[in-house]
Structure 1
Amino acid sequence: MATVMESRNRSTVTEFILLGFPSDTGTQVALFLLFSVVYVVLLAANIILILAVTFDHHLHNPMYFFLINLSIINIGNPSVIVPKMLMDFLNKSIVFSACVTQMFLHFAMGGSECLLLVFMAYDRYVAICKPLHYSRIMNRSVCALMATVTWLTSFVMPSLSIFIISEITFCGSNIINHFLCSFPSLMLLSCSDTSALDFLPFLVGATILLVPLLLILFSYYKIISSIKGIQSRRYKAFSSCTPHLIVVFLFYGMAVVSFMRPNASVEDDSSKGVSVFYVIITPLLNPMIYSLRNKDVIRALRKLMRLP
């Protein structure tokens, strides 16, 4: 009898409630409008950059090929989160399957950007340290292979997390104090014994974030070593690498703070703020970073918009 009652009390959760940004009605309206405008601008900025690079044959080289892939990620990752976040101002519920799908795609897009930034760093290393062999090393087949590895690998990486989520039980509370579904937030709501999995977010974060970051830093160490003492190459290397370095700093800075800080599974207002910057602001800034000081991109944008 006790077992039957316990089974009834531990009914399986089929949907979750994303609290998002609880506040008064006026603030809710203001946030809805703000996030809507930022999302539209984000989409427009990245789509325009993709079109500018695509239709300007002068930009058909590996660096801008990777930039197109980065812009696709900058569109895809926010599109997994923001539409639902905007809907949460009206309806905060999300069914289990949609929650898991959102988590999978968000994880996959983040992994894609990690790997892509590594290949972009390698591209800069070859361009600066081995300029005479650049076209041979970074040929079209190699770039296509790098892009394929980026996308395929990143969509395989979340599989373990999805398998774990599908095997555990959810009952009792179904309230997620966030605007997105994540592995730590779902673990907090599980009725299963997940103590053995407490290390998993840190382990995954260390693998997906720190290993690519170390590879990027090694690439730039080799670049700095090769241009040391050669004044004429410093400015060219600096101007070529600065946008990538800024993007790396923004992405990894926010990702490390979000996923590898102490008590990363604790959901509070600070974690939401970091996630907003990571999910929305960084993808908005990336096309601007690559456009503002890049004469080739500015020329392509002017040509696309038929400006003098």
Structure 2
Amino acid sequence: MNNCSIHTIDTEFIFTGLTENPDLKIPLFLVFVIIYVIAILGNVGIIATIQLESGLHTPMYFFVSQLAMLDLFYTSIITPNTLVNLTRKVKSVNIAGCATQLLLFGGSATTESYLLAAMAYDRFVAIRQPLLYVTIMSSRLCKLLVGGAYFAGFLNSVIHISFTFALKYWKGNVIDHFYCDIPPLLKLTCSNTFLNRVFIFIFGGFSGAICMSTILYSYINILIAILGIQSGRSKAFSTCAAHLTCVFIFYGSLICAYLRTPSDYLHINDKIISVFYAVVIPTINPMIYSLRNTEVKEAVSKIANKYFFQICKRSYYRVATSSL
């Protein structure tokens, strides 16, 4: 008789979580709370700064604000649930919840890769065609690029989920991870996963090839253009430095997380890479754009001084009025 049909899981999965050591749960909880608060403040701060400062209402910062919104959503899919699970003995999720988490997380991650490619194209146009930049990178094109990134990202995620949850699971319902992801789910199935792994490499490789090709082409041409100018090189480099840093960090962790053979997966390494990929990157992206970008730092300073002055003025007025 087919054991697969007897033991197929149809209720819920159980996570092993980040650690089974009870002494580490409180420290990890505090660390994740701090990281999540920094992620929220950083990304909301970037969005607010761009909205409030008219000098940042350009295509480049439109993409930066979209990246911040995506990172805010991205980290909120995983981190709050991880915090809850650190306080629970049984860390369970039903099939629908697991599929939803996988859809949102996978879609957001793939969308981010396309968005980073769109940002590289934006920098390419700005440096290679500065006089036509505003014309080429119109509001309509920017919105189309962002919409296309979301469409491609979530279409990719839907395809993977369809194939993953079409499998039969019988090797227990314990996911050796702290959130729903494809590699640990495939370890639980008795079905042949060859097609699933092929799709991971094909669709992951296809998305990666498109995005990386766009980024490489853009930055090769940017480098040629920068080397050909006599002045303003440092400013041109500085506008690309933050984006390039985000690209290297994101794609480095993405390759480590997914584009490996099953034999390369190690228990502890998977979780460390996943923490970095799912939790840390959305936190450090706004820091990179704040610390490496002179225009953002100046805008933050300007807004802070403006609103601080207004608060001081109102406080002084209230004190002066009450003393009369």
TM-score range, shorter chain: over 0.9
Structure with max Cα Rg: 2
Identical amino acids, percent of aligned pairs: 35
Cross-structure match for 1:289: 288
Q: Which amino acid aligns with 1:88?
A: N
Cross-structure match for 2:114: 115
Cross-structure match for 2:150: 151
1:146 Cα deviation from its structure 2 partner: 1.2
The answer on whether the counterparts of 1:70 and 1:113 sit within 8 Å (CA) in structure 2 is: yes
1:262 Cα deviation from its structure 2 partner: 3.4
Q: Which amino acid aligns with 1:111?
A: T
The answer on whether the counterparts of 2:70 and 2:112 sit within 8 Å (CA) in structure 1 is: yes
Q: Which amino acid aligns with 2:85?
A: D
SS in structure 1 of the partner of residue 283 of structure 2: helix
Match of 1:65 among 58, 62, 65: 62
For residues 172 and 256 of structure 1, do their structure 2 counterparts lie closer, same or farther at Cα, with a shift above 3 Å needed?
closer
Which portions of structure 1, spanning 4 or more consecutive aligned residues, are displaced by more than 3 angstroms? 6-9, 264-267
Cross-structure match for 1:168: 167
Q: Which amino acid aligns with 2:243?
A: H
Match of 2:77 among 58, 77, 80: 80
Cross-structure match for 1:45: 42
Q: Output aligned runs, 1:1-308, within 5 Å.
A: 9-89=6-86, 90=88, 91-263=90-262, 266=265, 268-305=267-304, 306-307=307-308
Q: Which runs of 5+ in 2 are unaligned?
A: 310-324
Q: Which amino acid aligns with 1:85?
A: T
The answer on whether the counterparts of 1:118 and 1:213 sit within 8 Å (CA) in structure 2 is: yes
1:271 Cα deviation from its structure 2 partner: 1.1
TM-score for both structures, normalised by structure 1: 0.93
1:264 Cα deviation from its structure 2 partner: 7.1
Q: Which amino acid aligns with 1:176?
A: I
Q: Which amino acid aligns with 2:231?
A: S
Measured in 1, the distance between the counterparts of 2:297 and 2:36 equals: 22
The answer on whether the counterparts of 1:202 and 1:260 sit within 8 Å (CA) in structure 2 is: yes
Residue by residue, what CA displacement relative to the aligned partner does 1:33-79 show, whole Å, maximum 9, x if unpaired? 11111111111110011011011111100010000110011111111
For residues 118 and 194 of structure 1, do their structure 2 counterparts lie closer, same or farther at Cα, with a shift above 3 Å needed?
same
Measured in 2, the distance between the counterparts of 1:252 and 1:193 equals: 29
SS in structure 1 of the partner of residue 153 of structure 2: helix
Measured in 2, the distance between the counterparts of 1:293 and 1:188 equals: 41
1:113 Cα deviation from its structure 2 partner: 0.7
Measured in 1, the distance between the counterparts of 2:250 and 2:147 equals: 21
TM-score for both structures, normalised by structure 2: 0.88
Measured in 2, the distance between the counterparts of 1:293 and 1:197 equals: 40
Number of aligned residue pairs: 305
Measured in 2, the distance between the counterparts of 1:237 and 1:69 equals: 22
SS in structure 2 of the partner of residue 199 of structure 1: helix
Measured in 2, the distance between the counterparts of 1:193 and 1:295 equals: 53
Measured in 1, the distance between the counterparts of 2:70 and 2:263 equals: 24
Q: Which runs of 5+ in 1 are unaligned?
A: none
Measured in 1, the distance between the counterparts of 2:279 and 2:263 equals: 19
